[in-house]
Chains A and B, each alone.
Chain A
Amino acid sequence: MRFKHLAPALLLGAALVTALGAAPAAAQQDMAKFKQSQPTEPPSLPKIAWSFDGPFGTFDRASAQRGFLIYQQVCSACHSMNQLYYRNLSGIGLSEEQIKAIAASVQVPGGVNDQGQPIERPGLPSDHFKAPFPNEEAARAANNGALPPDQSVLELAREGGPDYLYAILTGYRDPPAGLKMQPGMSYNLYFPGFQIAMPQPLQDDSVQYTDGVKPTLDQEAKDVVTFLTWAANPEMEERKQTGVRVVLFLVFLTGVTYATKRRIWSDLHH
């Protein structure tokens, strides 16, 4: 069940930040000052009206495609999406030609040549998304010790889902006076413990959209969250559409069954 774990997680995060401080006593003092001036809990998440909300929701294809663009140009520098194949991109409305071109833009391991030496070849639609780092150690080494999480099911793996992801992407602020920031950390209003290892990834005009939509931070965040929600739930449209039909059928069946029951029982005199 999706319980609110934010408060305890925050406490733990705060404790961790404190414990890791170079001068624990000083850090504790800072923390005490910070706690006086700041709320100890992130504010409640903004509720965004998503295209995929509700039993009839679908993914806004244009938004998801813009989101994929952001993934390609921004997120994929650090975040893998290991569960996805390039062929899956047909799910956000990309054509076969577009998918082939996207896949071919990366080099992937292609087995060995006839001398037994490993070779590389251009990617195919049947290849997994290429990860930015060969392994966890390389990812941590390049990111100040932090591991950028795989984004395949990130939307499902965070309390609050799409609203949480949107809140993080738009939640970067200047740290409040008196808060001692750890080296390389950024202040984020919605992150448990307020200090996040990921520098602010999106600003206004971080990317160039080709469809005339203005790339504001708000728009970019919505687009990439739409893409990530699709990536985590590629079955969602089929699921909801099937669900509507199943529920309608079951309502009908329930009515017929109940009427039959009334009729069968009507000959009993109680």
Chain B
Amino acid sequence: MVGLYKSEFKNPVVNWIDKRLPVFTLMQKEYAAFPTPKNFNYFWNFGALAMVNLMIMIATGVFLAMNYTPNVAMAFNSVEHIMRDVNWGWLIRYAHMNGASMFFIVVYIHTFRGLYYGSYKTPRELLWMLGVVILLLMMATAFMGYVLPWGQMSYWGATVITNLFSAIPLVGPSIVTWLWGGFSVDNATLNRFFSLHYLLPFVIVGVVFFHVIALHIAGSNNPLGIDVKSPQDTIPFHPYYTIKDSVGICVYLLVFAALVFFSPNFFASPDNYIPANPLQTPAEIVPEWYFLPFYAILRSVPNKLGGVMMMFGSIMVLFVLPWLDTSPVRSARFRPIYRQVFWLLVIAVLALGAVGAHRPQGIWVVIGRVATLYYFLHFLVILPILGKLERPLPLPESISRPVTRGGGPIPGGAPAKPMEKP
């Protein structure tokens, strides 16, 4: 339909713009009046937190790039120059460095929130898959960003991870040479990683945009996992969730500030304060903490190609999760067995994180293999079968009238008060 938009804004300037480009109406509909289930708990803060974190990373990153030099002879020194000579450079760099860790903390909680409350189930499959794409892009971005300071762990981490592609039959070694832009990790590699590290966050912004569109089409899930039945079940996003998200943002910033100002190297490897040296391999090559579970899966498989496939497979399996979980009930609150295997999955992932931080010897090999096995069993075997076997608890009639259909006892926590935690 061609023609000016019929704006309802009274302010003449706003109205003039809105008629030609209805961004004010868009914001009004999607962020102010947007009907949102009234029973969110604080786990529903983490999407907004991820958005804030992404903006912090882009803002600090832009200023870092103004002072950083992507050259093997100068990169390490230019980072120290930022720390020592650039006004507030230490704050910008420590915020960016710890911001990466905060981003993964936030996004992992966001993801497990989705797993617990079944947010990936119909009609939100594509919303979930876009989220997995964002996670993959974040991992690529974080990996390349970690290479930029050109410390020992930057260099050797890049060498180990890019070498994984050599496991691909026939074309593997050629792919690695192509990734490196040469025959080892060197200046060409650093340059392209810098370029891509600057590019990918904006690709993430684009996918986040689609993620949000998909969210606003399907509507948010909620802790009960049941559909919105009537306007009574919802409240406008603003002011109720803008203020509730603000509380979460404040707490998030407190944790972030504690890290940046008082323990900025808490997540950092001391080895990365040693300039990269291609002739000296560090005693231990350990990735950043947020990759440890995947690194553990990689090392739990005694075959290189198998390990690489399992590692990527651990993310790929999330893409098809909406079809692996056969239960029509979303929220784990009404799935007595799923609620338990969910925590087994959490334990398996945490165990894999611990395994990734240790040498693959002794008991760590056993734990790594058991946890890897459980990870894949959980998604590929347990979830498909459980949906058929499990007898879910009676679901409440609606969000605002949490009365069970069968007239049985109200399930624990069903009359969810908006502020309570599950």
Contacts and interface: CB of A to CB of B under 8 A. Distances in A.
A1 B240 contact: no
Q: Which secondary structure characterizes the binding site on chain B?
A: helix
B84 interface: yes
**How many of chain A's residues touch chain B, expressed as a range?**
35 or more
A258 B39 CA distance: 17
B83 interface: yes
Given A8-B283, A8-B359, A257-B250, A250 B257 contact: yes
B34 interface: no
Contacts of A254: 247, 250-251, 254
Interface string B21-58: 00000000000000000110000000000000000000
A234 B262 CA distance: 14
Interface stretch (B156-164, B201-209, B263-271, B378-386): B263-271
B357 interface: yes
Given A83-B80, A246-B257, A265-B240, A9 B284 contact: yes
Nearest to A10: B283
Nearest to B249: A257
A235 B235 CA distance: 47
Contacts of A192: 283
A8 B284 contact: yes
Nearest to A241: B261
B418 interface: yes
Contacts of A157: 270-271, 273-274
Interface in A41-64: 55
B243 interface: yes
Interface string B181-198: 000000000000000000
Interface residues of B, number: 46
Nearest to B83: A235
Contacts of B246: 257, 260-261
Contact of B261 (A83, A156, A246): A246
Contact of B254 (A9, A149, A250, A258): A250
Contacts of B267: 1
- Name A's interface SS: helix
B286 to A, nearest CB: 7
B344 interface: no
B84 A243 contact: no
B261 A261 contact: no
A90 to B, nearest CB: 13
B91 interface: yes
Contacts of B250: 250, 253-254, 257-258
B258 interface: yes
Contact of A234 (B84, B94, B400, B415): B84
B183 to A, nearest CB: 23
B304 interface: no
Contacts of A3: 284, 286, 357
A2 B262 CA distance: 15
Contacts of B417: 270
A251 interface: yes
B289 interface: yes
Contacts of B264: 239
Candidate in B240, B250, B267 with the most chain A CB atoms within 10 angstroms? B250
Contact of B357 (A1, A9, A265): A1
A268 B417 CA distance: 11
Contact of B240 (A5, A239, A264): A264
Contacts of B321: none
B278 interface: no
B369 interface: no
Contacts of A260: 243, 246
A88 interface: yes
Contact of B38 (A246, A261, A268): A268
Contact of A12 (B239, B270, B283, B289): B283
B247 A242 contact: no
B262 A243 contact: yes
A239 B271 CA distance: 23
A2 B267 CA distance: 7
Given A1-B289, A153-B80, A270-B400, A264 B261 contact: no
Contacts of B84: 83, 88, 234-235
A268 B251 contact: no
Contacts of A239: 90-91, 94, 261, 264
9 contacts: A2-B266, A3-B357, A9-B283, A82-B77, A157-B270, A243-B262, A250-B254, A261-B243, A268-B235
Given A55-B261, A235-B90, 19 more contacts: A1-B268, A1-B289, A2-B268, A8-B284, A152-B80, A153-B273, A156-B270, A157-B271, A157-B273, A234-B84, A239-B91, A243-B260, A243-B261, A254-B247, A257-B247, A260-B243, A261-B246, A270-B38, A270-B417
